[in-house]
Structure 1
Amino acid sequence: MSEVLDYIEMKLPAKAEYVGVVRLTISGLASRLGYSYDAIEDLKIAVAEAATNVVEHAYKDTVGLMGIGCRVFRDKMEIIVSDNGQSFNFEDLQKDIGPVNPNKPVQDLKEGGLGLFLMESLTDKVEIKQESGVVIKMTKFLERDEVEQHVDGIRSTNAQHQ
């Protein structure tokens, strides 16, 4: 098992105006870790879908909290979005969380269909737990942009030919 380098956790009101805060936080973190532009855009959409599902579906007539947790590894980032806003222990959660049931129509899941489809399409792994609330864990592996990694090499090669 990989070593966790950092852990970030936020609790925010489950209101639409805070979805952007979640997007910006994950975007800034992914940028700092060296994710490519495309991977950052994918993460922003996936986390916004998860947070929007909390805003739209988690609480009936009250405003509750959404919890955002992020574990950073050398080669990946794990993001959890929960709709009860409580602190969570990643290790404890690992015991109860599992992959989305492929035999269950996506539309039948509590948090909605298209959002979950986007999360699965834009991240490397999506796991879900549904009990008193919904917890979604998304994993995105770090694959640095090949063009960005070799820019200096290209410039030095071109400089030799001039």
Structure 2
Amino acid sequence: MHEIMLTIPSKAEYIMVVRLTLSGIAARCGFDFETIEDLKMAISEVFNLFNIEKISGQISIRFEIDKNCLGIEIDIPTDEINKNELAEVILKTLMDDVEFEKLQDKYIVRLKKYH
């Protein structure tokens, strides 16, 4: 398994950096164009659930590359989430596994896509 870490400022304009990084990693993993677009949409939906501009601190994204799947773990330093049923349905449709873990002062979002 390989791991790639990305840390971005909590500013909306850096979400594009995450999407581009994800696109490159997913292509390297052998996912097809349609699946890569689904992954990029899923990342955008995760960020839509949080008020990125109101977060102080940095957001960490960890990509876990395995021969069977691509795992994405997003560490968001906030205790507020925007409840959005449509975004959650989209995430569950696009990804194979979706998990939200609420810790004391942050959320950890875990996504997995299998080959």
Identify the TM-score tier after normalising by the shorter chain: 0.7 to 0.9
**CA distance in structure 1 between the aligned counterparts of 2:111 and 2:82, rounded to whole angstroms:** 15
Shift of 1:49: 1.6
Contact 2:98 2:112 in 1 (8 A): yes
Give TM-score scaled by structure 2 length: 0.86
* Alignment root-mean-square deviation, CA: 2.0
Match of 1:40 among 36, 59, 62: 36
Between the two proteins, the alignment pairs up a number of residues equal to 112
More strand by share: 2
The residue identity in structure 1 corresponding to 2:58 is L
Match of 2:99 among 127, 148, 152: 127
Shift of 1:82: 1.4
Unaligned runs of 5+ in 2: none
**CA distance in structure 2 between the aligned counterparts of 1:32 and 1:129, rounded to whole angstroms:** 28
Shift of 1:125: 0.6
Give TM-score scaled by structure 1 length: 0.63
The answer to whether 1:76 aligns with 2:69 is yes
Contact 1:78 1:138 in 2 (8 A): yes
- Residue in 2 that maps onto 1:50: 46
Could you tell me the percent identity over the aligned residues? Answer: 29
**CA distance in structure 1 between the aligned counterparts of 2:48 and 2:60, rounded to whole angstroms:** 12
- Residue in 2 that maps onto 1:22: 18
Shift of 1:68: 0.4
Unaligned runs of 5+ in 1: 86-108, 143-162
Q: Deviations over 1:26-71 (max 9, x none)?
A: 01100111101111011000012223434x16x74x5321110011
Which protein has the larger Cα radius of gyration, Structure 1 or Structure 2? Answer: 1
